[in-house]
Amino acid sequence: MEPQLIVEEFARRKARQKRLWLPVTLVSIAAIWMRHRPVGSALVTLFFLVAIPIVFGALAVTYRNWRCPACNTHLGKRANPETCPSCGAKLA
């Protein structure tokens, strides 16, 4: 794959990752809020019916998306890698 295409594809993947932050952050804030406020059990059940698929969906998208465009190796926990730890391809 051409170096410029690798950088462009990584930019698209990074943008996709950033879009996951909002729903996961909102679920986290709601969980913290619910922990410190008395709410009914129906609301807690509804929250978990919505929150669990959001969190697991975000994890699944991250696992599939956060990979090197050149060698398809998972990029790990680094938020902004400049190169692939496996093949050394320039990502940014």
Return the SS3 of 71.
coil
pLDDT digits (tens, 9 = 90+) for 23-52: 999 999 998 888 888 778 888 889 999 999
Number of domains into which the chain is organized: 1
Task: Read off the pTM.
Answer: 0.82
Q: What is the pLDDT of residue 91?
A: 96
Residue 91, φ and ψ in degrees, nearest 5:
-105, -25
Domain that holds residue 9: 1-92
Give the mean model confidence (pLDDT) for residues 46-63.
Answer: 94
